[in-house]
Every structure is written in structure tokens, then in C-alpha cells.
Structure 1
């Protein structure tokens, strides 16, 4: 019995330590998740943003619609929303209280949303001048399997040619 008691005490000490080390560092304020975990896991460890894929024709033609589909290559991460024209804010956050799949997720500093359906962003536009172009910066809003929201930036280049 005397040999078992120290073993139980030691196990209790390790289990308490494990709980404190796995404490969540996700921060919420007024129903909004602060976007402080873009490069971290829920427990504060390093996290790698998912790779972004793009499907589009090799080049766009002047005065013809050019369609681009953007998606995440990691299918365990959900692509929730996408925005252009976002401005920097002091404490970026996402509205998690009002979040549903049917409503636009509110991301602080972002007003102009893109079309997102089934984890894919759809962008269609008609180029007017030839040359190598860069589409404006897109802010992607993602959510992992632990329901943690994160953002990442994405830009892509495309070539516009004459008919």
C-alpha cells in the first residue's frame, strides 16, 4: 500500500500539469472571437496556414469574363468566407455569436465579401487591358475542426491577352 501511494500522487501531479499545459488561448469578447490565433493552435503551439489552390484558365481575354475558383487544399479546414478591401483594425475579430452557414460572417475591418459556396470562392470579372495583372488581396476566413476561426491573406496573378 505504501508503494502505491507515491505512484498515485505522482500520477495526480502529471495529470494536473497536463491540464494546465493544454489550456485554451482562444479569446472572446462580446460574442466575437479575437483573431489572435492565425499562426497558433488552440493551445498556443505553432500552426501552419492551409495551402490555397486555384482553378482558372491560363490567361484571360480582354472583354471576356474570366472565372476563378479558389479553395483550400486541406479539406479538414472549412473556408467560411472571403473579403476584399479589408482595412487594418486594432483588434481583429469575427462575430461568432451570429454566425450561421446561411448568413455572412462579420469580420472586423471587412465589408466587401466575395461569393463563397461549398468551400470555394467564385470570382468572375471582365479584364479591359492586356498585361500581367494582380488581383487585389483576398482575406480568407477559415475554421478548423475545433471551431477556431483564423484569417489568411491570398493574392494571385493572371495574364490578360488580346483576342
Structure 2
């Protein structure tokens, strides 16, 4: 059982790396504390320049085949609500109205490398909404 688990971890590590050996991950730039009714701007980008962000979605259907890619249309099956992608960066802007800890989660990102290599990555971020002035 332990050897099988190690093999699975090695396989996972192999498939999550690009050909250059660099792990493909998403980086999130967003303030961790924001003021209520203040505009929040978040940017999400890839740490690997070999991969391009094609599309990004939120609030996708939950099903076992949720990461199935439609290569013809370059979409993720079961995902409809699209986020804004510009210059290989996901740009999210919103105004929180509720105080306390919050999460913008379940973001699915369609990545493409060269002609026909695709991957789906998931991301999200947490932030705290406070009343009054925020010192950053």
C-alpha cells in the first residue's frame, strides 16, 4: 500500500511538471484585508511562461467529469460563468459588502502549452473584509 502511494505521488509530480521540470502553478495577487464597499482587484497568473491561460471560470458544475476539456472550443465542460482573462492574467474585480472572512474559491483555469497540450488548474483566494480604513 505504501509503495503504491509513493508511485502515485511520483506520477502526480511527473504530470504536474512541464518539460523543463518547472511545476505549473497559479500565483494570486490580492490584498488580504479590504475595507467594506471598497473595490477589490485580484490578479491570477501562471508561474510558468511555457503555459498560457486560455479561459477561467467560477461556479462550475460539480460532477466527476468536471475537468473534461472541449479542445475544439477550448472550454471546460460544465463551466459557464467566465472570468476576464487579459494578457495571460485572470483579472477579478468586485466590491465586498459583508464583513468578516471571505473566500473567492472554485476558480477553474484552462491552460494551454503550444498547439495541443491542455491542463485544468484550480485556484482561489481568501481575504478579510473590515470596517473603516485599511493600512497596507
Quickly name the TM-score band, shorter chain normalised: 0.7 to 0.9
Partners of 2:83 and 2:106 lie apart in 1 by 12
Aligned to 2:88: 119
Structure with more contact order per residue of length (Cα contacts < 8 Å, sep ≥ 6): 2
Aligned to 1:67: 41
Which structure 2 residue ranges, 5 or more long, are not aligned? Answer: 1-10, 17-22
Cα drift, residue 132 of structure 1: 1.5
Q: How does 1:22-37 map to 2 (within 5 A)?
A: none
Cα drift, residue 146 of structure 1: 5.3
Checking the alignment, whether the CA contact within 8 Å between 2:75 and 2:110 is kept in structure 1 is: no
Q: Which structure carries more strand by proportion?
A: 2
Deviations 1:104-141 (A, max 9, x none): x3321101000001110010111112212111210011
Checking the alignment, whether the CA contact within 8 Å between 1:142 and 1:149 is kept in structure 2 is: yes
Cα drift, residue 78 of structure 1: 0.8
Which structure 1 residue ranges, 5 or more long, are not aligned? Answer: 1-39, 99-104
Number of matched pairs: 116
Mark the structure with the bigger radius of gyration: 1
Cα drift, residue 149 of structure 1: 1.1
Taking only aligned residues, the RMSD between alpha carbons, in angstroms, comes to 2.4
Closer, same or farther: CA 89–129 of 1 in aligned 2, 3 Å: closer
Checking the alignment, whether the CA contact within 8 Å between 1:89 and 1:108 is kept in structure 2 is: no
